[in-house]
Structure 1
Amino acid sequence: MSELIAKDLDQKDNKHYKYLVFIGRFQPFHSGHKAVIDEALKRADEVIMLIGSANLPRSLRNPFTVEERTAMIKGAYSKDEAARIHCVALDDALYNDTRWLKYVQAGVRSVTGDLHADIGLIGHSKDSSSYYLSLFPNWASVAVPNYQNLSATPIRDSYLMGATPTPERTPESTRKVLNEFKTSADYKQLNEEAGFIDTYKKQWEAAPYPPTFMTADALVVQSGHILLVERRSMPGRGLWALPGGFLNPKETLFDACIRELREETRLKVPEPVLRGSCHSQHTFDDPYRSARGRTITQAFYLHLKNDAKGLPKVKGGDDAAQAFWLPLAELNAKMMFEDHYAIITKMVGL
């Protein structure tokens, strides 16, 4: 009996698929990722690369566009092999697993045309970010070992601080894209921000354990418009953000929200009205939401009543270069700081 079971498992391990799906951010694409694709090309007719964190602004965690990552991936293979690799952009959906699963299904279907085709997921369980391997019960899971224990994070971090990636960790195609990107204004800004974050984190090196920061954000909506600020300083200089900031030692989270809102926007609404307009609140605690370190925020949704006189006047102050009302239809994930777009879609229900 045990011999029959072993034979059955061996047949499953050697199964050939029509499609194998590899989900990742590939920031950047390294030799460990390539090892997974190499195996997928052996085990499937076609490989679907779902390239995550698409349609976001460049940041220390996500510095490269989908197009740049596609060039890294396809450039590592011959013309015939590259033709079997389909690179598809995959948007994030922080705080909404159901929406993210829908995005994955749509991305796969854009290639296969049928979600009931012979499809498998390939990857390795690196950490909690690989939990997706268990979210698709209708698709087989193909596990592969971690190649030389490689991770994109140290490669990316050292590169943004000025180092040159090595052939031992990255394919030539990746190094080509990185070398070209290093001459750009975008790299210069990210390099400056990486230095800022490095200095910022060194302030806490003597702490007995890594600090956790607490912030409060204000999500203010009136008449189909949302109140945003443009960030004046790093990190995220020039990006749009919710008004908010760090909690002071002797204030509640809601008090911090109201204080930061008034400091950054000079919103012409009486404080009692603001306090009485709180519709809901929610905690946002994705471990990677901030480059500064573990930062948990409490967001408060303030829904102001429609007013025939129009939207209240605002003016940028404190850490905000400007404050402005934006129609909800004009929200753009590529312009939003950290996870603020995900916060808005979660709380407003967009």
Structure 2
Amino acid sequence: MTRKTVAVVVGRWQLVHLGQEALFQAAFGLADEVIAVLGSSHRARDPRNPFVHEERRQMLMANLTPAQRERLHVLPVRDYFDDQRWNAAVAMGVQALAGEGADIVLVGHHKDHTSYYLHGFPRWRQQLVDRLAEVDATAMREVFFEADDPDAALAVMAPYVSAPVRAWLQAWSRLPEYQRRKTEHAAVQAYRKKYTAVAYMTGDAVVTVGDHVLLVRRNGPFGEGLWALPGGHLDRGEKLVACAIRELIEETGFPLMPASILATLAGVETFEDPLRSPRGRLISMAHHFKFGPMASLPEVTSSDETKESRWFHRDELAAMEPQLFEDHFVILDHFLGLIED
């Protein structure tokens, strides 16, 4: 009996271009079925990830024949910023879609340092193909989101992006989300010009009272309206734990003295993945301030930097992943164990 062959293609596809489409066509030529592992799924939009995973699935499907669509499976996978957990999630998801006994082949090409994932699945066969187009999604996003006229941008992109994807992008550019993405893209470009050091340090506060967690709703220009941990940039001469406590009080009006907050410090962890923030290399030291149950939750307020501050029960947090800023869901998961692997 002949084993079913399943090709796996991994990517984010944050604007699908001809090189990526050619990679899929190679995969269809090799296998009975194709699994598209859609990275950076379930998270909130940002300048590096302007399209949610359902929109990226639509772009991928736009270029396929009806028969190929029947053969394609899409596997959304979140960012863990932990290679071991990410590899395990991909392997488990692929196995579930491919079924027992399938011959799995990983199809890809060595683009740059981000292609190291190709070595994370030694049990699968690997089929490397030549890079099929001198274009990348980052350049296409810059053209699309920096142009005054999206239709003119799409005309410039014609040699690199297929007609069906350009038609999809043209329709999407008429939605309010396009202008929000343009605004945040411009804010990130300005931020990167202002902050040019190799890296910057920030302090974040994970504050729990019993089963409740304190979050703030951001007031732009980055992550407008998203929920986040209280935190911010380290001041000159300041300790990181002092930074986290200062930002907590400034952003939420937390009604306890710094010494009382410090006495509840239960854990500290560094989050330093180079891609955790589209603004640049921001290294965060997250501090877990753990209070026991109280008769009533401490009263908190908003600030100039936040639209509101609010307590959430930890059971609410898993469903909030697409509403959380940058990697703050990952930080919360580290301290509170939100993801069931």
Pair in the same fold by TM > 0.5 = yes
Deviations 1:84-116 (A, max 9, x none): 22222222222x3333223212321342222x4
Q: 1:261 aligns with which of 245, 248, 252?
A: 248
Matched residue, 1:227: 214
Q: Is the 8 A contact 2:188 2:279 kept in 1?
A: yes
Counterpart of 1:50 in 2: which secondary structure?
strand
Deviations 1:121-143 (A, max 9, x none): 11112233222211112111111
Deviates more, 1:218-227 or 1:159-168: 159-168
Task: Please state if 1:279 is matched with 2:266.
Answer: yes
Task: Please state if 1:37 is matched with 2:24.
Answer: yes
Matched residue, 2:84: 98
Q: With structure 2 as the length reference, what TM-score do the two structures score?
A: 0.91
Matched residue, 1:74: 61
State the AA in 2 paired with 1:338: E
Task: Please state if 1:242 is matched with 2:229.
Answer: yes
Matched residue, 2:121: 136
Question: How far apart, in 2, do the equivalents of 1:109 and 1:176 lie?
Answer: 34
Q: Output aligned runs, 1:291-306, within 5 Å.
A: 291-306=278-293
How much does 1:257 deviate? 0.8
Counterpart of 2:277 in 1: which secondary structure?
coil
Structure 1, gaps ≥5 residues long:
1-15
Question: How far apart, in 1, do the equivalents of 2:217 and 2:177 lie?
Answer: 18
CA RMSD of aligned residues (A): 1.7
Q: Output aligned runs, 1:140-179, within 5 Å.
A: 140-162=125-147, 164-165=153-154, 166-179=157-170
Question: How far apart, in 2, do the equivalents of 1:98 and 1:199 lie?
Answer: 35
How much does 1:17 deviate? 6.7
How much does 1:70 deviate? 1.5
State the AA in 2 paired with 1:65: V
Deviates more, 1:191-200 or 1:222-231: 191-200
Question: How far apart, in 1, do the equivalents of 2:337 and 2:261 lie?
Answer: 21
How much does 1:328 deviate? 1.0
Question: How far apart, in 2, do the equivalents of 1:349 and 1:67 lie?
Answer: 26
Counterpart of 2:301 in 1: which secondary structure?
coil
Q: 1:65 aligns with which of 49, 52, 58?
A: 52
CA distance 1:25–1:226, change in 2 (3 Å)? same
Question: How far apart, in 2, do the equivalents of 1:121 and 1:173 lie?
Answer: 26
State the AA in 1 paired with 2:325: F
Q: Output aligned runs, 1:113-132, within 5 Å.
A: 113-114=99-100, 116-132=101-117
Matched residue, 1:218: 205
Counterpart of 1:155 in 2: which secondary structure?
helix
Please identify the structure whose Cα radius of gyration is greater: 1
Question: How far apart, in 1, do the equivalents of 2:296 and 2:182 lie?
Answer: 42
Structure 2, gaps ≥5 residues long:
none
Q: 1:317 aligns with which of 287, 293, 303?
A: 303
Question: How far apart, in 1, do the equivalents of 2:38 and 2:225 lie?
Answer: 25
Q: Is the 8 A contact 1:244 1:261 kept in 2?
A: yes
Question: How far apart, in 2, do the equivalents of 1:103 and 1:123 lie?
Answer: 19
Deviations 1:237-292 (A, max 9, x none): 10000000001112111111111011001112232221011111111111122222
Counterpart of 1:199 in 2: which secondary structure?
helix
State the AA in 1 paired with 2:170: N
Matched residue, 2:185: 194
Q: Is the 8 A contact 2:200 2:283 kept in 1?
A: yes
Q: With structure 1 as the length reference, what TM-score do the two structures score?
A: 0.89
State the AA in 2 paired with 1:104: V
Question: How far apart, in 2, do the equivalents of 1:17 and 1:147 lie?
Answer: 27
Question: How far apart, in 2, do the equivalents of 1:128 and 1:175 lie?
Answer: 28
Matched residue, 1:20: 7
Q: 2:314 aligns with which of 301, 320, 328?
A: 328
State the AA in 1 paired with 2:313: P
Question: How far apart, in 1, do the equivalents of 2:76 and 2:177 lie?
Answer: 21
Figure out how many residues of one structure are paired with residues of the other and give that number. Answer: 328
Q: Is the 8 A contact 1:263 1:318 kept in 2?
A: no
Q: 4+ runs of 1 displaced by more than 6 Å? A: none
Question: How far apart, in 1, do the equivalents of 2:21 and 2:285 lie?
Answer: 39
